[in-house]
Amino acid sequence: MKKVSVLLLCVLTVFAACVFVPPASEVDALQKSAKNLAVVMYHNTVPDNYKASVYVIRAGSLERDLKFLKENGYRVLSASVVIDSLKNGIALPEKSVMLTFDDGYYFNKTYAMPLLEKYGFPALFAIVGEYTKFNKNNPKVSKTYTYFDFEDVAEINRSKYVEIAAHSYYLHHFGKRQGVKIKKYEDKTAYCEMLEKDTRLLEKSLLQAGVRPRVYAYPFGAYCAESEQVIKRLGYEMSLTCNEGINCVKTPENLFLLKRLNRSGTGKSVEAMFAEYGY
C-alpha cells in the first residue's frame, strides 16, 4: 500500500509540473504582445485658434499625434491593406495602427488631409449619408460643423491617403433606437430589412461618387448580433465599434467589431493612450 501511495504521489507531481500556470505578470505580457492593431478614432479637425472638445481636435494636436507615430516606428496602414494582408495570410507588422475620422466633417479636408499627406499616413473617413445635406453650400450650417457632400466624397476619394467607410444613412441618431442597434421587442426580420435598406441607400450614393466601401463604422459604436449578420451578408469586410482597447487580429474573421481609442480634443494624446495600453 505504501508503494502505491509513493507511486501516486510521483504521478501527481509530474502532472502538476505539466500544468504549471505562469505568473499573472507573464500572462499580461503575453496578452500585450498578442495585440497588434490599434485603431485611433478622430472626428473633427479645426484650426489651432478654435475651441477643442471631446469630438473636436486642433490641427496642432493632430500633428503631434502623427509625429509621435512617425518617430516611434508605428506602421500606419489603410483598412484595405489590413484586410488584404489577412485575406492572403500575411501577418500585420508590429505596432500597426489605423487612423479613422468619423462623420465626414468638411474641415478634415482642410486641416487633417494635408497633415496625413505630410506624414504619408492613410486614414479612413466614415460618411453619414444624411449629414451630406449639411454641406458647405448650406447657409444655415455652422462653418465648424459643415460636412462633406457626395461631390466632396468623390474628390477626397481620389487621394491615395483617403479611404471611405459607411457610417449609415439615416441611423446616426440616439433616440428610440441607439444607432443601428435593434430595439427591444423589434421584429428581427423587419429590423434586418430596415438596416439593409439604409445601408443600400448609402452605398448607392457612394457608388455614384466612385466608392465601394469595405468597412462599416457603427454610429455611436452601437451594434447587435443581427447588425453584424446584415453587414457581413452585404459584403463588408470590417466593422468598427467605439469599445476601447487594442485589437488582436490574426485572420479576416478578427476584423469585425474592432475596438478603437477615441482621441478626444481635450483628452489624452495618442502617445498617452498607447502607453496606458502598453502598445
25-29, 54-58, 167-171, 253-257: the lowest-pLDDT one: 25-29
pLDDT of residue 81: 98
What digits encode the pLDDT tens for the residues 198-257? 999 999 999 999 999 999 999 999 999 999 999 999 999 999 999 999 999 999 999 999
Q: What is the DSSP string of 221-261?
A: G---HHHHHHHHHTT--EEE----S-B---SGGGGSSB--E
Q: Specify the higher pLDDT residue, 175 or 77.
A: 77
Q: Specify the higher pLDDT residue, 6 or 166.
A: 166
pLDDT of residue 34: 81
Residue type at position 258: L
What digits encode the pLDDT tens for the residues 125-182? 999 999 999 999 999 999 899 999 999 999 999 999 999 999 999 999 988 899 999 9
What digits encode the pLDDT tens for the residues 81-123? 999 999 999 999 999 999 999 999 999 999 999 999 999 999 9
75: helix, strand or coil: strand
Q: How many CB atoms lie within 10 A of CB 278?
A: 12
pLDDT of residue 175: 85
71: helix, strand or coil: helix
Residue 64 has phi, psi (to 5 degrees) of: -65, -35
pLDDT of residue 16: 41
81: helix, strand or coil: helix
Average pLDDT score over residue span 43-65: 98
Residue whose cell numbers read 462633406: 148
pLDDT band at 33, cuts 50/70/90? low
* CATH of region 30-167+240-276, choose from 3.50.50.60, 3.20.20.370, 3.40.630.30, 3.30.9.10: 3.20.20.370
Taking Cα atoms as reference points, which of 63, 65, 68, 69 lies closest to residue 48? 63
pLDDT of residue 190: 98
Domain ranges of the chain: 30-167+240-276
**Range among 16-20, 34-38, 172-176 rated most confident:** 34-38
pLDDT of residue 239: 99
Q: Rounded to an integer, what distance in angstroms lies between the CA atom of residue 101 and that of residue 124?
A: 6
C-alpha distances in Å from residue 250, one per residue of 32, 35, 53, 100: 14, 10, 35, 20
Taking Cα atoms as reference points, which of 45, 67, 188, 213 lies closest to residue 127? 213
